[in-house]
């Protein structure tokens, strides 16, 4: 990987950019704030995130990617251009860019991401699927004839894949991850307590009290602030681990079902490797308390959480240049009009 090359984890909730000699140089929310009348971007990343839920009618702050796909092409293009320019200051040599995408992304969705990168000044664009990037970033040697299962839980999608000999053997992607939990918490608090909180508050609540092994003995509480609908006034509310258990359990069950679906179609020899190596969790969603233990019990196989799990995809995307031409699947040159 040359110093001019950059890897981009273009996530639903965060954008991370990796440079070989510097590590993660960008780690900001994937939010754009823009003028509602003209559509002109006003702020990106952290600045825009601070405006979410706090803008007046003339300013809109939104995530241009939803559930792992590009929902607003124009804003995505502007956001990618902003972050590439922020992380790469040379005006002479344009960067070679590797971008990760969910394993089940459609051709149209992929083209939107590629066009955004090219229009942002990239001289060459390579696409890498998230499970491959996560495995590389976690430090696994994916070129060996040895099966590894990766479960990457991001903001918008959860990608599950079995990898061997530099390629994806079988995989599954579901549009159910961290953001889905946040949305369901907002709904539950409203229906159960007649109390409205924002998604950012729901995220803080999830990190503070959610537990995949929730019970009365380990239940803790967290104070949230929002609107009491009965009075129509600002108020505060104490919410416990047990209060949000009805949200956590069904989503974890979906993770378990998806993992079992992939394991069912995994070749026997690779299944043996996975039983020995364990299942590796990456992504911010891997930090959900006791998720590893819950999955381990459900699939009867050890489950490990990667070190710095939130950064694995970004690191792997940047380091993937070293394996260019060696990977059997999950990594390809998609630069329009250019050869490799």
Across 25-46, average pLDDT: 93
Report the length, in residues, of the chain: 340
> What is the C-alpha separation between 317 and 308, in angstroms, rounded?
15
- Whether 3 shows a pLDDT value over 60: the answer reads no
Highest mean pLDDT among 3-12, 15-24, 176-185: 176-185
Cβ 310 vs Cβ 284: under 8 Å: yes
Hey, how many other C-beta atoms are within 10 angstroms of the C-beta on 24? Answer: 18
Q: What burial class does residue 145 get, using C-beta atoms within 10 Å of its C-beta: 0-12 exposed, 13-18 middle, 19+ buried?
A: exposed
Find the DSSP H helices in 175-224: 178-193, 199-209
Q: Is the four-CA dihedral 284, 308, 16, 331 of positive or negative sign?
A: negative
Burial 49-75 (b: 16+ CB within 10 A, else e): bebbeebeeebbbbbbbebbbbbbeeb
pLDDT of residue 120: 73
> What is the C-alpha separation between 103 and 157, in angstroms, rounded?
10
* DSSP H or E stretch at residue 257: helix 245-264
Token pair for 250? 């069904």
**Percent of the chain whose predicted confidence (pLDDT) is above 90:** 61
Q: Give the lowest-confidence range in 19-28, 98-107, 163-172.
A: 98-107
Which DSSP symbol is given to 156? S
Across 68-89, average pLDDT: 83
pTM: 0.89
- Whether 91 shows a pLDDT value over 80: the answer reads no
Q: Is the four-CA dihedral 217, 256, 100, 49 of positive or negative sign?
A: negative
Confidence of residue 149 (pLDDT cuts 50, 70, 90): very high
Confidence of residue 109 (pLDDT cuts 50, 70, 90): confident
Q: Is the four-CA dihedral 94, 98, 99, 101 of positive or negative sign?
A: positive
> What is the C-alpha separation between 28 and 48, in angstroms, rounded?
10
Please write the tens of the pLDDT for every residue from 189-224. 999 999 999 988 999 999 999 999 998 888 999 999
Q: What burial class does residue 221 get, using C-beta atoms within 10 Å of its C-beta: 0-12 exposed, 13-18 middle, 19+ buried?
A: middle
- Whether 241 shows a pLDDT value over 70: the answer reads yes
Total H helices, total E strands in the chain: 10, 19
pLDDT of residue 340: 41
Cβ 173 vs Cβ 157: under 8 Å: yes
């Amino acid at each position: 990987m040359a110093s001019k090359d950059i890897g981009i984890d273009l996530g639903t909730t965060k954008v991370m950019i990796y440079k070989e000699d510097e590590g993660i140089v960008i780690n900001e929310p994937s939010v754009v704030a823009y003028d509602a009348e003209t559509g002109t971007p006003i702020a990106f990343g952290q600045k825009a995130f601070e405006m979410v839920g706090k803008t007046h009618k003339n300013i809109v702050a939104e995530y241009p990617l939803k559930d792992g796909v590009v929902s607003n092409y124009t804003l995505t293009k502007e956001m990618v251009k902003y972050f590439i320019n922020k992380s790469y200051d040379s005006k002479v040599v344009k960067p070679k860019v590797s971008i990760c995408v969910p394993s089940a992304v459609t051709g149209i969705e992929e083209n939107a991401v590629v066009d955004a990168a090219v229009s942002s000044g990239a001289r060459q664009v390579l696409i890498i699927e998230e499970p491959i990037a996560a495995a590389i970033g976690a430090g696994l040697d994916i070129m060996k004839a040895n099966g590894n299962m990766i479960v990457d839980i991001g903001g918008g999608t959860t990608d599950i894949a079995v990898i061997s000999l530099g390629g994806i053997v079988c995989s599954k992607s579901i549009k159910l991850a961290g953001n889905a939990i946040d949305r369901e918490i907002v709904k539950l608090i409203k229906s159960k307590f007649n109390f409205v909180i924002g998604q950012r508050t729901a995220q803080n609540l999830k990190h503070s009290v959610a537990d995949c092994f929730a019970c009365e003995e380990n239940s803790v509480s967290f104070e949230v602030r929002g609107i009491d609908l009965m009075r129509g006034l600002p108020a505060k509310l104490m919410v416990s681990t047990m209060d949000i258990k009805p949200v956590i359990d069904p989503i974890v069950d979906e993770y378990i079902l998806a993992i079992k679906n992939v394991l069912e179609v995994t070749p026997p020899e690779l299944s043996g490797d996975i039983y020995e190596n364990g299942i590796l969790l990456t992504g911010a969603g891997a930090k959900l308390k006791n998720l590893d233990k819950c999955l381990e019990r459900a699939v009867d196989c050890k489950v490990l959480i990667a070190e710095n799990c939130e950064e694995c995809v970004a690191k792997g995307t940047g380091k993937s240049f070293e394996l260019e031409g060696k990977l059997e699947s999950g990594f390809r040159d998609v630069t329009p009009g250019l050869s490799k």
